[in-house]
Amino acid sequence: MSRILSYAAAVREAIDQSMARDPRVYVMGLGVTDPKGTFGTTLGLVERYGPRRVLDMPNAENAMTGIAIGSALVGMRPIMTHQRADFVLLALDQLINNAAKWHFMFGGRMRAPLVVRLVIGRGWGQGPQHSQSLQALFAHVPGLKVVMPTTPHDAKGMLVAAIEDDNTVIVLEDRWLHGVEGHVPEDLYRVPLGTAATLRPGRDATIVATGYLTLEAQAAAAELATEGIEAGVIDVRTLKPFDAEHVLAAVRETGRLVVADAGWRSLGFAAEVVARVAEDAHAHLKAAPRRVTCPDAPTPTTPALANAYYPRADEIAAAVRTQLGRRTARGRPATARPGVPLDLPDPHFRGPF
Residues that bind other proteins (CB under 8 A): 26, 52-53, 57-58, 60, 62-76, 93-94, 97-98, 102-111, 113, 142-143, 145, 165-167, 241
- Pick between residue 98 and residue 254 the one whose CB is nearest to other proteins: 98
Least spacing, CB of residue 283 vs other proteins, in Å:
28
Least spacing, CB of residue 176 vs other proteins, in Å:
30
| Annotated catalytic residue, options 130, 153, 178, 246 | 130
Least spacing, CB of residue 21 vs other proteins, in Å:
13
CA angle 317, 282, 223 (to 5 degrees): 10
- Pick between residue 26 and residue 242 the one whose CB is nearest to other proteins: 26
Q: Which amino acid is at 135?
A: Q
Burial status of residue 253 (CB atoms within 10 A of its CB: 0-12, 13-18, 19 or more): middle
Distances from the Cα of 32 to the Cαs of 38, 80, 112, 154, 286, in angstroms?
Answer: 6, 9, 22, 22, 49
- Pick between residue 75 and residue 339 the one whose CB is nearest to other proteins: 75
**Does residue 130 have an active-site annotation?**
yes
Least spacing, CB of residue 47 vs other proteins, in Å:
18
Distances from the Cα of 186 to the Cαs of 14, 20, 26, 43, 191, in angstroms?
Answer: 10, 14, 21, 18, 14
- Pick between residue 163 and residue 250 the one whose CB is nearest to other proteins: 163
- Pick between residue 4 and residue 110 the one whose CB is nearest to other proteins: 110
Three-state SS for 234?
strand
Strand segments (E) across the chain: 2-6, 25-29, 54-55, 77-82, 115-120, 144-147, 168-174, 181-185, 197-200, 205-209, 231-235, 238-240, 257-264, 290-294
Least spacing, CB of residue 87 vs other proteins, in Å:
14
Active site members:
130
